[in-house]
């Protein structure tokens, strides 16, 4: 579309958050949405835009606990600190909670990253 500004990563991820079933098959789960975001990040890296670079460290600082876990595992623990550690999946309510938190934290992280870029 000529004459329109390109969509930011935050805007795109907000679209994914609103209609996750459009971007994954078999219904959105925490794992499929995390895999989608990881794939989106891998594409960003190929384009020379390290989208989620530093997210794991940012999450650890925000949560106040050092962690050597990958970013999506940290978010899962933040969303469900009392359990649901099965790799087979989560109950529906837990899935929704974890997905919502993931997209909120991604937006917060990207907002801080965009703000830091504008200051430089």
Per-residue pLDDT of the chain (120 residues; tens, 9 = 90+): 455 678 999 999 999 999 998 998 888 899 999 999 999 999 999 999 889 999 999 999 998 888 899 999 999 999 988 766 555 667 778 888 999 999 999 999 999 987 665 544
Range of the domain at 86: 28-119
Domain assignment of residue 15, yes or no: no
Q: Is the pTM of this model over 0.75?
A: yes
Q: What is the number of domains present in the chain? A: 1
Identify whether 59 is part of a domain.
yes
Please check whether residue 12 lies inside any domain of the structure.
no
- The answer as to whether 115 is a domain residue is yes
| Dihedral angle computed from the Cα positions of residues 22, 41, 58 and 24, in that order, rounded to the nearest 10 degrees | 20
């Amino acid at each position: 579309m000529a004459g329109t500004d390109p969509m930011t990563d935050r805007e795109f991820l907000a679209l994914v958050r609103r209609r996750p079933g459009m971007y994954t098959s078999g219904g959105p789960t925490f794992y499929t949405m995390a895999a989608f975001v990881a794939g989106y990040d891998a594409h960003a890296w190929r384009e020379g835009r390290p989208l989620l670079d530093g997210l794991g460290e940012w999450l650890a600082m925000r949560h106040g606990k050092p962690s050597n876990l990958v970013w999506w595992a940290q978010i899962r623990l933040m969303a469900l600190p009392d359990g649901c550690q099965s790799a087979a999946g989560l109950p529906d309510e837990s899935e929704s909670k974890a997905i919502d938190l993931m997209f909120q934290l991604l937006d917060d992280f990207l907002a801080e990253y965009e703000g830091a870029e504008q200051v430089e």
